[in-house]
Every structure is written in C-alpha cells, then in structure tokens.
Chain A
C-alpha cells in the first residue's frame, strides 16, 4: 500500500511546517530547560563532586555548600584523628567582594585551599598554574569571568593586580568549567589568604574534608566522624552534593521554575502539534471516510494518523536536537549554565514520541467516529 501517511504529510507543506515549528519549539524548549536544570545542578555541587574527598565535615545547620556557618578550627584536628582517615584538609567556601580597577565591586565566592592541597580543585586549568596561589597572593577564576572582571572592556589578564575585601590579590590562572549556581563565581586561593579575603580568623574554618583509608567506605567514615564530633555534622560527598542540589533546586523554587518551563514546553508542543494534526485530519475527513467505505479498518486509519504525527515528530526531533546541541555548545561560553548531555538528547526522543502520540489522539478519535456513509453526502 502506498505510504499514505508520508504522502499526506508532505503534500501539505504549510501544515508540515506548522507542525515542525511546534515540535521543534517544544522539544528545543524542553531540552534547553532540562539542560539548564542539569547545568545548574552540576554548578551547584561542582566543587563537591570534583574535590575528590569522601566525607565533608561542617557546622551543624549547614544547608548547602555555599551557605555554611563557620566552625572552630580545632574540629580539623578532631576530624583527622578519626580512625579510618587517610588524609584531611581544611577548606573555606565563603562569599566576599572583589574590587575592580574602576572601583566597582562584584560578589565572589572564595575557595581557600590548603597548601599543596590534594583536592582536585580547580579541576581544569586553561592558563597559569594552580601552585602559584600559595606563593604570591594568587587567585584563580573561571575564564568566562574575564570580561566581567576586566577593566574598561579589556578582559582580566594573568598577573593583573586586584583587591579582595581590601587585601591585595593577583590573578595567577584561569580555570574552565567551574560554574557557580549563584551569580558569584568561585575564586580559588591559598587557605590562609582566604581567611583574610573572607574576614575569618585563624581559629575558624568552614569545612574539613576527609579521604577514607582504603577499605573504609565513605559511609563508615561519616558515621565514625559523627560519633566523634557531636557538635559538627558530617556527610559523604554524595550526600552533601545531593543536599546542596536539593537546596538550590527545590528549596529556593528555582528548580521548580525551570521544571515548570519544561512542562510548559511539552504542553505547548502537544497543543500546537495536536491543532495542526487535527486541522489536517479534518481537511481530509472525506478521504478518511472514503478509506473507511473502501474497507479500511479503524486500526489502520489510526495508524496512518499516528504515523504522520511520528514522521513529523522525528523530523522535528532531529532539528530540535541539532539546535539544542548547538546552543549547548555555544551558550556555556556566555556563562549560561546549560549542559545538554547525549543522554538528555536521547531521552528527548521518547518525549517527542509522547508529544506526537498525545497530539494524535483527538484526530484518531475523530476518524474513529467518522461514519463511512458520509462519503455520499455532498
């Protein structure tokens, strides 16, 4: 039998374009919204996920990585003395202010690393050297912030002098892919310098990060630390990562907002494709009635409509995926926390099929109810 679905679809090019616009808009919107969600979540917990520590020790009542109260520095000694600890380090993560050359100030988030830190932070350097932060008041910032933190249109450059909370600092490197959930970028520096940059004293710290000895699981070590440090809280890296993501995504409502946008994208897609398919079906009702009169069953007719929708969906999916992939590679350079992994693109195929099947239902039902006797009516 001729490919009625395909021929019908391509015969009416205006309707095809309308359906494609609906599908591309919808699928791209959903992909980008979910890409933003994934990107924002990655940013929110990127420091925890990349640091390489097994257990994070912090002041009780800590809600997430970025919003943490100070704790006494002696917790460090108590924590590293816990049986099963291979090594431990102090770590500062603290909001502070960076003064630009023209006098403006920008919020940043200091990440103070202990000398010769074994933490994998920052995890990718594109210029300069991480070791220089311990020698010359050095700071490292993500390369995407160079324009924002530059001077009169000139991007921030290596060895440029700056000022953080009234203390001199020098840019000694640029890293890549270290985004922040907030608008304040992470700035890596020496631990002691970080105390100065964040207004803390040497008797205070923010986190103690621990590595478990071989044979000791992060959960075991966490439990041992909790028993030993009843005034502090300890989480495995995975737990703290989830806690941080959960806070920013759902505690603040931002994640729900992004998800709402994705759901809206699905609804818009279903409505546009459904309207287009229904209008195309109604225009061809006499043809469907003729096919019924000629002996075609409802199942076959339904499959013709569904196939039309799925062909349009497949075309739209390919276009939307290309668009989303392109945006996923371009927008992060402009500090948009967009991450479109292949798995998301693959999952969107099933979302597209869902949109197309849902959009076909009204058309299929209309044809099911069609009386074949209508073919003799003028």
Chain B
C-alpha cells in the first residue's frame, strides 16, 4: 500500500474509536466511538474540557498508543493492527509532535535538537546543520541556534519545537497545548507559524488546546466532551 495520501487530502482518519483504561477491577472508557478526519492543508483545533479525551485521541492518532477498538488510517493506510515494532518508523516519517512543555533535549542546543530528527531521517553532518539552520530561520530563530533550552524563553523553545516537528517533513503535525506555557503574543506567533505551515506546505496540523483565542486562527474546530465529538465540522466523518 502506498504511504502517500492518495485521497482527498486526509492525513489521518479514525473510525469508531474506543479506548478504555483499567482502573483496578473496572475499565474506564475514555473514547466512545470517535470518528474524525484531519485534512492536510488545515489547522484544526481540538477543544474540550479536561478529561474529555482530547489527549488520548491525539496520542492514538500519533501512533503512540493503540485503541481498544476501532480503526486508524494514516495517509490512507490502516495502521491499527500494525506491530509495535513498525510504529517508530511510521512516526519518524509521517508524524511530527509539538508539546506543551517543549520536551527539548536539555543538553543539546537549538540546532542540535532539530538535527536529532534530521538524523532519524538519515540526514547527518553538514547537511543536517544546514537544514536545521534553515528550519530555525523559518521560525525566526536563526540567531539563537547555539543556545541551550535553558538559555531560551518559552516562546523560543516552542519555536524550536516547531522547527523540530517540521524537520521530519511529516504530513501530520500533532500539537498538545503548544501555547499553554506562552503569553498571548507569543502564542499568536506560534499559531501563525503553524497555520502558515498547514497552508503553504499542505500539512495537517492538529492542535489540542483550551485557548479559545486560537479559534480565530483555525480552519476547523472540533469539540469533544466525555469521549465523543460533540460539534461536527467539515472534517468529521459521516
């Protein structure tokens, strides 16, 4: 099966997704039959109260966790039943992550943090440094390439996180509260970068957020409550 999108620009699609966790003798169901498409070229917001299942859905879409039942398609390929050992390679090629707490490697400078992902793609040495510098330039951090995460502001760290997510050329970028630790001005800058990437590079960007202020930047908004999608939008599967 081809691993590039062969349909109408859908990066990831989930069908009748269920996820439950064991809590002692009981099973706690977090997702109750979620259906959702995330389209390439769009910045999609996933909103909802805490405990509504947003992060669980993001985690499953990012191939970091298996659903209890249902199906996940990444770029048209059913990845639900793939062996655990096959998932790192898929994540490496097709999924980029941006985290609320940045999750940069503390001992590496900005350029090296980006180079880690480039290295996983097989790009090394001077070529990796050149690409890392280009990506940092794209997020406005070319002059901060040699700084360690501890020497950067929250906004700068998050922009390094964005550059790192872009380094893999992933079609799907998943961001968990990317503006959660940023002031409103910096948050707007980061979201602008994400929207720009979605539009100009035809990537699917899914952002989990509580920040209502981001809605004006989004192409689609999906709302969740109690493990289900409560507000359909253009991308919700029938």
Contact = CB atoms under 8 A, between A and B. Distances in A.
Interface of A: 1-2, 4, 7-8, 10-12, 284, 286-287, 289-297, 371-373, 375-376, 378
A291 B58 CA distance: 17
Given A11-B106, A375-B103, 9 more contacts: A1-B120, A2-B119, A4-B107, A12-B107, A286-B101, A290-B97, A295-B93, A296-B92, A296-B120
Contacts of A287: 103, 105-106
Contact of A7 (B107, B117, B124): B107
A296 B101 contact: no
A7 B116 contact: no
Q: Dominant SS at the A interface? A: helix
Interface in B165-220: 168, 176
A254 to B, nearest CB: 48
Interface stretch (B1-9, B10-18, B33-41, B59-67): B59-67
29 contacts: A1-B116, A1-B118, A1-B128, A4-B107, A4-B108, A7-B105, A7-B108, A8-B105, A11-B107, A12-B107, A286-B101, A287-B103, A287-B106, A290-B97, A290-B99, A290-B103, A291-B105, A291-B116, A293-B64, A294-B91, A294-B97, A295-B89, A295-B92, A296-B120, A373-B64, A375-B103, A376-B55, A376-B64, A378-B101
Contact of A4 (B65, B97, B105, B118): B105
A2 B116 contact: yes
Contact of B91 (A1, A4, A12, A295): A295
A31 to B, nearest CB: 31
A2 B97 contact: no
Top 7 nearest A-B pairs by Cβ distance?
A: A1-B119, A295-B92, A11-B107, A2-B112, A7-B107, A290-B103, A295-B91
B51 interface: no
Nearest to B132: A2
A1 B115 contact: yes
Contacts of A375: 64, 97, 99, 103
A335 to B, nearest CB: 48
- The residue in B59, B93, B99, B107 that gathers the most chain A C-beta atoms within 10 A of its C-beta is B107
B140 interface: no
Contact of A294 (B59, B106, B107, B117): B117
B69 interface: no
B88 interface: yes
A367 B55 CA distance: 22
- The residue in A2, A8, A290, A296 that gathers the most chain B C-beta atoms within 10 A of its C-beta is A2
Contacts of A291: 105, 116
Nearest to A297: B88
A339 B91 CA distance: 56
A23 B93 CA distance: 40
Interface in B66-115: 88-93, 95, 97, 99-101, 103, 105-108, 112, 115
Contacts of A4: 105, 107-108, 116
Nearest to A287: B105
Nearest to B62: A293
Interface of B: 55, 58-59, 62, 64-65, 88-93, 95, 97, 99-101, 103, 105-108, 112, 115-120, 124, 128, 164, 168, 176
B64 A2 contact: no
B231 to A, nearest CB: 22
Nearest to A8: B107
Contacts of A373: 59, 64-65
Contacts of A297: 88
Contacts of B168: 294-295
A342 to B, nearest CB: 36
Contact of A376 (B59, B105, B115): B59
Given A11-B106, A11-B107, A287-B106, A376 B88 contact: no
A11 B91 CA distance: 28
B108 A294 contact: no
A369 to B, nearest CB: 12
A90 B196 CA distance: 100
Nearest to A377: B55
A8 B92 CA distance: 22
A298 to B, nearest CB: 8
Contacts of B64: 293, 371-373, 375-376
Nearest to A294: B117
A375 B103 CA distance: 8
B67 to A, nearest CB: 12
A378 B88 CA distance: 22
Nearest to A11: B107
A296 B107 contact: no
Given A294-B97, A297-B88, A286 B103 contact: yes
A14 to B, nearest CB: 14
A378 B89 contact: no
B87 to A, nearest CB: 8
A144 B124 CA distance: 60
B108 A376 contact: no
A8 B89 CA distance: 24
- The residue in B90, B95, B106, B118 that gathers the most chain A C-beta atoms within 10 A of its C-beta is B106
A33 B106 CA distance: 40
Nearest to A289: B103
Contacts of B116: 1-2, 4, 291, 294
B157 to A, nearest CB: 13
Contacts of B106: 11, 284, 287
B175 to A, nearest CB: 11
